[in-house]
Structure 1
Amino acid sequence: MNQTLYIKNMVCPRCIMAVETVLDELEIPYKSVQLGQVDFSQAIPKGKMESLDKKLTGLGFELLESGKSSLISQIKTLIIDQIHHKNEALRVNFSTLLSDQLHHDYTYLSRLFSSVEGITIEKFITKQRIEKVKEMLFYDELTLAEIAFKLDYSSSAYLSTQFKKETGMTPSQFKKMHSPDRRHLDSL
């Protein structure tokens, strides 16, 4: 019997490695570990599940029950993965991506997300994109126009407007800061 666990706060490849390490330490065999989820070929015994929960919590992760909270975690994971970890541009809009991947109508996903998180999916996507822009500005490897193109903004002017609206400063002002205000992805 296959089992899937959903884990909150898995936002990067290091998180995947940390979860794999915990699973190996507890000698829990798994099929795959991805952002936000672990697939098993068999059910995990209750005692091992409690140990897993305790170790993951100690690392800042949270096991999610099946249902609405895991669906919200999956929405966040798909968005974070697409914006922060994929190099190729999204060929469909986020609403289509989320509906196709999660097998739910986007209207349902949007209402659920807003009711639990207190912000819309679109606002969450904007916050993630702005954090990615901050990262790219911080490393100073691309021009603003290149960043706008890479993150699918219609223009660098629109990116600048959205950046100022979210952060209160222009991208140029942000670049001049010595210790920029960047946030952990799981806190957005």
Structure 2
Amino acid sequence: MLNNYKVAIKGMVCDRCILTVKEAFHQLNIPIVNISLGEVTTVSALSAPDTAALSEKLKPLGFTLLEDKKTKLVRDVRILVGQVYSGNYDFPEGFRFSDVVADALDRDYNTISNTFSESEHVTLEKYIIEYRVEKAKELLVYTDQSLADIADKLGFSSAAHLSRQFKSTTGLNSSYFRNIRKSKIALAREEEPSA
């Protein structure tokens, strides 16, 4: 069964508005299921880039995207996860993401976590682990940082902790991704023109 998502749009007052908004979605290749005054039902939730592009496209036409509180909360949580686990965050002693997100969003952590899980169909904790593992994969393939350095940058307690999370999340060892880096470097060397 498909999950349909509702997108509220301010300023739709007539049939011509429906046609104009429908065309905007079509131009951005965002599939819709249904459209009525003030509301568009899409096949899936809009990504942040889709939301930004749609907002830009609708604004000169006199329409405004209305973001509900839950959608905004989830977007803010995703942004904060991206900032904290970017590889550039200085993790203080006793760091807990739950404290950071509760302070940043001025909300109770349980409310934030429950809203996120309800909207995204994955727990916030699992989302964070998956995000950190994806970031670790990126760093293993595109940098020469050690696993211990990567673990430290992404807030893991040790390289062994990162390795365990890596194996349980991807089913692969971190060395698999380090070998991809080695293969990329070897290919790049082969493609260099000889002098």
TM-score normalised according to structure 1 size:
0.61
Equivalent-residue separation in structure 2 for 1:141 and 1:75 (angstroms): 30
Aligned to 1:68: 70
Look up the equivalent residue of 1:118 and give its one-letter code.
H
Amino acid at match of 2:80: L
2:179 to 165, 176, 181: 176
1:95 to 94, 98, 102: 98
> Of 108, 120, 123, which aligns to 2:123?
120
Alignment of 1:10-21 (within 5 A): none
Shift of 1:149: 1.6
Q: Secondary structure at the match of 1:157?
A: helix
Q: Tell me, which stretches of 5 or more residues in structure 1 are unaligned? A: 1-6, 27-44, 54-62, 180-188
Deviation (angstroms), 1:117: 1.0
* Structure 1 vs Structure 2 CA RMSD: 2.9
Which protein has greater RCO, CA pairs closer than 8 Å, 6+ apart? Answer: 1
Distance (whole Å) between structure 2 residues aligned to residue 169 and residue 82 of structure 1: 25
1:36-95 CA deviation, whole Å, 9 max, x = no partner? xxxxxxxxx975553xx6xxxxxxxxx5613111111111111112212x6232334111
Count of aligned positions:
133
Q: Which has the larger radius of gyration?
A: 2
Query: Over residues 145-186 of structure 1, what are the superposed CA-to-partner deviations in whole Å (9 max), with x where a residue is unaligned?
Result: 11112222111111111101111100002222358xxxxxxx
Aligned to 1:29: none
Provide the C-alpha distance between the structure 2 equivalents of 1:166 and 1:109, rounded to a whole number of angstroms.
Answer: 24
User: Which 4+ runs in 1 deviate beyond 6 A?
Assistant: none
Equivalence map 1:1-188=2 (5 Å): 8-9=47-48, 50=63, 65-84=67-86, 87-91=88-92, 92-177=95-180
TM-score normalised over the length of structure 2: 0.59
Cα offsets for 1:14-46 (capped at 9, x unmatched): x9xxx69x96xx8xxxxxxxxxxxxxxxxxx97
Unaligned runs of 5+ in 2: 1-45, 185-195
Whether the 8 Å CA contact 2:85–2:155 is kept in 1: the answer is no
Following the alignment from structure 1 to structure 2, what is the Cα–Cα distance between the partners of residues 170 and 121? 24
1:64–1:162 distance in 2 versus 1, CA, 3 Å: farther
